[in-house]
Amino acid sequence: MDRKIGIIASDVELKNSIMKLLEKEVKSGEIIIDILDPDNITEQGRILKDKGAKAIIARSGGYRHTVGKVNVPVINLKITTLDILHAIKTASKYKKDIVLIISDLEYFDYDEWKDMISAKIIIERFYKKEDIETRVKKYVEQKDSVVIVGGGIPCIYAKRLGIDNIPIGASDESIYDGVAYAKELINSLYEQNYKNEVLKTTLDGVHDAVVEINQEGNIMLFNERAEELLNKHSGDVIDKKLVDVCPELDFVMEVLESKVNKYNEIKKLKRITITANTSILSVDGHIHGVLCSFQDITRLQSLEKKIRYELNKKGLVAKYRFEDIIVNDPAMKNTVAKAIKIGLSDSTVLIYGESGTGKEMIAQSIHNIGSRKDEPFVAVNCAALSENLLESELFGYEEGAFTGARKGGKPGLFELAHKGTIFLDEINSVSPNLQAKLLRVLEEKEIMRIGSDYIIPLDVRIIAAANEELKRMVEERTFRSDLFYRISILEINIPPLRKRKKDIIPLFKYYVKRLSEKSDVPEINSEIEERIMSYSWPGNVRELKNVAQRYLIFNEIDLHENQIIKDKKELIHADSKIDCDKVVDLREINRFVEEKIIEMLSNQGMTKTEIAKKLGISRTALWKKTKS
């Protein structure tokens, strides 16, 4: 199989890095590299595709101007925070202000790193190719006092204008990951195309009723299944006009006249309702007739589920098991023990836990211990999608159901989870309208795709998760009580990390060892352990993992401890009374409380709009508070 990968390198340095890392693949022609040309960027993807590339890897501006221009997958070689920090460190040697020019595709939180960066950083983001040159030209008159840091295009423009520049490099790991993902994607596409061909041939030739007509509208093929469904013998219809012997199939003639294929059409015949796929038979560009394959709708529904599962089961797998969970604290041991008992049942489960406590890990473990472990596990974050998008993702849609709907329609996540488990994370964020539809699915065990008029039966276990108390939401009438009682048959409460102290050090050591690229991991002394144990961990295990990663890089513990807390303790709790010689700044204390509440809500995964609504203020007021 041809697995050729095209790479648009942002500069010569990146090309050389790729050639050194992947020398064998480059020499064999499995990888072909083109250096970014900002004056010809829209054509570079097409050129690589014409050279045989089955997937293209590009970066930043190169990615933005290649994706959608070619009919092969385009992978973004992401600029990571570490890549940016390395470039900034190099640029700092110029002793000038640093202008960081990056696209909106890159994530870089300057506020998180500014205390560690001595140079002044000016961040310029671009959204389209035309913006890049404009951003660079702004600093022509200041070229003696600035250095540009950016991807290939910004640095090319800076070089042309005589401005010092440092390109953002790519780590070996990023390059390996990008190429590995491209290979996996090519293999997956090939595998799925192959399966589609085999399935289509099998369905056309065996499972479906098949009728073929020639250009004159005469029946040329009429298989046994067609004989059975239409109650006609092939000897009575072959070589005769379709409209004379099978007038109920007149829709086949419409495709022959319009030259437009039609798929998944529901047609009512005399005795049965069928779903039909009708397509032009074309060889070397010449039309020879029309092939129609159809099946009674009840049998097809069952077959569709099997086909969808076979085509989509890759990736719908729960990878975590209970033995993967590091647990030493009694509180967490009790939680896991309860979860194991629940996993052996098949009831609906509601998992409570703050952001980062491992709700999905528990959900996957429950799935893997139960009777559905060999079936799909489908996870969806309800808070990450808008109401309309979440509805289409959960229930699927038919072709033409709305503007932009995929040709042929799309199965929903509930369908893909048939016989298995669906995990609805942050169900507390679901709108009341969608709550009603979810309730119907749970009660009736069936769904209807958007734009469809037929019911699809389901057999799915529901595991839901929430990061806030649903009983309180029911009392506030923001969550339906009937849905709450339907999903809360069994409940699990995952304690936050601050309430399972005995897990903190083992988890930290585990992540340090797992994330370390060296065999000898840095020593974790008692002082480090004390700091880790005394921290409140608002981001829970996810935050602990991030701190472990920063510890490996910088060899120091970087916690978001606030000096105001210490000042406040000194001010108010010294000798259990207020020191009269010190000034109590109530505005400062109020501001601190506001910041902590906003930070807490943000750590729980809430958007700015949701936080503003929660606090009863406008987005503008929230913005001012976070910027003050």
Q: What is the CATH number of the domain that holds 148?
A: 3.40.50.10660
Is pLDDT above 60 for 561? no
Vertex 106: Cα angle to 100 and 110 (nearest 5)? 50
For residue range 23-38, list pLDDT tens digits in order: 888 888 889 988 888 7
d(CA 593, CA 206): 69
- Write down which residue in 476, 493, 510 finishes a domain: 493
Stretch 576-596: mean pLDDT? 57
For residue range 104-133, list pLDDT tens digits in order: 878 888 888 877 777 788 998 888 777 888
| Domain extent at residue 277 | 211-309
Helix axes 172-202, 12-21, angle to 10 degrees: 70
Q: How many residues would you count in the chain?
A: 628
Is residue 403 within 8 Å of 361, Cβ to Cβ? no
- Write down which residue in 478, 493, 508 finishes a domain: 493
Count of domains observed in the chain: 6
Lowest mean pLDDT among 60-69, 138-147, 502-511, 527-536: 60-69
- Domain membership flag for residue 57: yes
Distances (CA, A) of 5 to 22, 25, 92, 295: 12, 9, 35, 41
- Domain membership flag for residue 154: yes
Of the pLDDT bands very low, low, confident and very high (cuts 50, 70, 90), residue 556 is confident
Q: Same domain for 555 and 606?
A: no
Q: Same domain for 587 and 551?
A: no
Q: Same domain for 335 and 435?
A: yes
CA atoms within 13 A of residue 33's CA, in its CB half-sphere: 22
Q: What is the CATH number of the domain that holds 250?
A: 3.30.450.20
Of the pLDDT bands very low, low, confident and very high (cuts 50, 70, 90), residue 578 is very low
Question: DSSP for 351-413?
Answer: EE--TTS-HHHHHHHHHHHSTTTTS-EEEEEGGGS-HHHHHHHHHEE-TTSSTTPPTT-EE-H
- Domain membership flag for residue 316: no
| Phi, psi torsion values for 246, nearest 5 degrees | -135, 65
- Domain membership flag for residue 175: no
For residue range 399-458, list pLDDT tens digits in order: 777 666 667 678 889 988 888 999 999 999 888 889 999 998 888 888 888 888 778 888
Is pLDDT above 90 for 249? yes
Q: What is the mean pLDDT of the chain?
A: 82
d(CA 413, CA 423): 10
Is pLDDT above 80 for 206? no
Which residues are registered as beta bridge partners of 422?
378, 462
Of the pLDDT bands very low, low, confident and very high (cuts 50, 70, 90), residue 367 is very high
d(CA 52, CA 46): 10
d(CA 370, CA 490): 15
Q: Same domain for 328 and 475?
A: yes
Give SS3 for 109.
coil
- Domain membership flag for residue 473: yes
Is residue 75 within 8 Å of 181, Cβ to Cβ? yes
Lowest mean pLDDT among 167-171, 239-243, 303-307, 493-497: 303-307
Q: Same domain for 356 and 300?
A: no
Is pLDDT above 90 for 462? yes
d(CA 432, CA 137): 50
Stretch 222-233: mean pLDDT? 88
Q: Same domain for 485 and 524?
A: no
Return the higher-pLDDT residue of 518 and 387.
387
What local confidence, expressed as pLDDT, does residue 84 receive?
Answer: 87
Q: Same domain for 363 and 486?
A: yes
- Write down which residue in 108, 142, 169 finishes a domain: 169
Of the pLDDT bands very low, low, confident and very high (cuts 50, 70, 90), residue 567 is very low
Indicate the pTM of the whole model.
0.45
Q: Same domain for 265 and 247?
A: yes
- Domain membership flag for residue 189: no
- Domain membership flag for residue 289: yes
Q: Same domain for 383 and 464?
A: yes
Q: Same domain for 10 and 65?
A: yes
Q: What is the CATH number of the domain that holds 433?
A: 3.40.50.300
For residue range 250-273, list pLDDT tens digits in order: 999 999 999 999 988 888 887 788
d(CA 34, CA 37): 9
- Domain membership flag for residue 273: yes
Q: What is the CATH number of the domain that holds 530?
A: 1.10.8.60
Q: Same domain for 273 and 396?
A: no
- 191: CB partners within 8 A, 6+ apart: none
What local confidence, expressed as pLDDT, does residue 575 receive?
Answer: 40
Q: Same domain for 343 and 450?
A: yes
Return the higher-pLDDT residue of 184 and 523.
184
